[in-house]
């Protein structure tokens, strides 16, 4: 899609939900499915560079469109309004990549619906900025009694590209995290496994192995699902595949491994997945 076409879409497309999708890049996971050997760092860098290129090239248009969509309006669930919020938050995600954190923070504190607050929250989580710690604390205080929203609070942090393995270990010490809560495990470890930049390293893989082995003593079925994180290890470039294979072998050689996890791990090691 050429630059004139993108500019024309931004200025003239009236279906805001469609436009939001059309100006979105595929996720890193989708890109992984469509390359030969997966070089995680390379995919991340190239995708991030494309995002920055779009954001910088169309900054004026994105700002104008954001301001237009951010005008005061009573909340409703019409198709039009849902599309407007989706497009507004897509514009905000691009602008945040350019360091427009004040705009995201203002949306966060003034939001009258979860879509807008959470959209701004995600933008402020994805890089180190002066608002990041504040919004994490504020969002938690506001929603700590809502189990499903707190799952999203955990998940959003785990998906943020600046969240390290150490940060995940710290989150696992949080009073609302429990290894016996499958949804909470998914919101933390499941989400972090989708954080390509931070998960795909020796420490990330080691964390996954630790969780799988501990879960295997509590809930073998859930442990087996997490063991499938390593199913496609052969598709990664050598720097990643070797590390993943090592973790699979550690799991496979563990004592008293459940049949559920054993089957997943050994099938993967034998290359039958």
Task: Tell me the pLDDT tens digit for each residue of 11-53.
Answer: 655 789 999 999 999 999 999 999 999 999 999 999 999 999 9
Task: Tell me the pLDDT tens digit for each residue of 259-270.
Answer: 999 999 999 999
Q: Is the pLDDT of residue 5 over 90?
A: no
Q: Is the pLDDT of residue 129 over 50?
A: yes
Bridge partners (DSSP) of residue 257 are: none
pLDDT tier at 166, thresholds 50, 70, 90: very high
Task: Tell me the pLDDT tens digit for each residue of 199-212.
Answer: 999 999 999 999 99
Nearest to 251 by CA among 273, 221, 226, 219: 226
Could you report how far apart the first and last alpha carbons of the chain are, in Å? Answer: 35
Look up residue 27 and give its two tokens.
């996720």
CA triplet 20, 24, 25: central angle to 5 degrees? 170
Instruction: Identify the pLDDT of residue 74.
Output: 86
CB < 8 Å & 24+ apart, contacts of 65-72: 65/10, 65/91, 66/91, 66/92, 66/95, 66/103, 69/16, 70/107
Q: Is the pLDDT of residue 134 over 60?
A: yes
pLDDT tier at 158, thresholds 50, 70, 90: very high
Count other C-beta atoms under 10 Å from residue 63's C-beta: 16
pLDDT tier at 167, thresholds 50, 70, 90: very high
Look up residue 44 and give its two tokens.
């991340």
Q: Is the pLDDT of residue 3 over 70?
A: no
Residue pair 129/136 in contact by the 8 Å Cβ criterion: no
Cα–Cα distances (Å) from 55 to 91, 98, 153, 247, in that order, read 9, 7, 26, 39
Q: Is the pLDDT of residue 2 over 50?
A: no
- The mean pLDDT of 143-153, rounded to a whole number, is 98
- The mean pLDDT of 223-243, rounded to a whole number, is 97
């Amino acid at each position: 899609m050429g630059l004139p076409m993108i500019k024309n879409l931004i200025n003239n497309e009236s279906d805001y939900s469609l436009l939001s999708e059309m100006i979105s890049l595929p996720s890193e996971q989708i890109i992984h499915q469509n390359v030969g050997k997966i070089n995680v760092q390379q995919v991340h860098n190239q995708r991030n560079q494309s995002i920055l290129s779009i954001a910088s090239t169309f900054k004026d248009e994105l700002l104008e469109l954001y301001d237009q969509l951010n005008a005061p309006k009573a909340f409703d669930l019409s198709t039009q309004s849902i599309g407007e919020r989706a497009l507004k938050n897509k514009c905000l995600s691009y602008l945040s990549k350019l360091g427009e954190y004040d705009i995201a923070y203002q949306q966060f504190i003034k939001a009258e619906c979860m879509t807008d607050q959470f959209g701004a929250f995600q933008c402020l989580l994805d890089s180190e900025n002066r608002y990041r710690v504040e919004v994490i604390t504020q969002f938690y205080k506001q929603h700590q009694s809502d189990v499903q929203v707190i799952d999203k609070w955990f998940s959003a942090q785990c998906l943020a590209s600046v969240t390290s393995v150490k940060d995940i270990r710290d989150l696992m010490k949080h009073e609302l995290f429990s290894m016996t809560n499958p949804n909470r495990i998914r919101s933390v470890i499941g989400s972090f496994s989708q954080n390509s930049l931070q998960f795909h390293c020796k420490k990330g893989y080691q964390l996954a192995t630790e969780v799988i082995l501990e879960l295997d003593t509590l809930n073998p079925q859930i442990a087996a699902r997490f063991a499938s994180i390593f199913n496609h290890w052969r598709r990664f470039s050598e720097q990643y595949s070797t590390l993943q294979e090592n973790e699979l072998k550690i799991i496979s050689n563990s004592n008293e491994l459940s049949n559920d996890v054993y089957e997943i791990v050994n099938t993967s090691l034998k290359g039958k997945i």
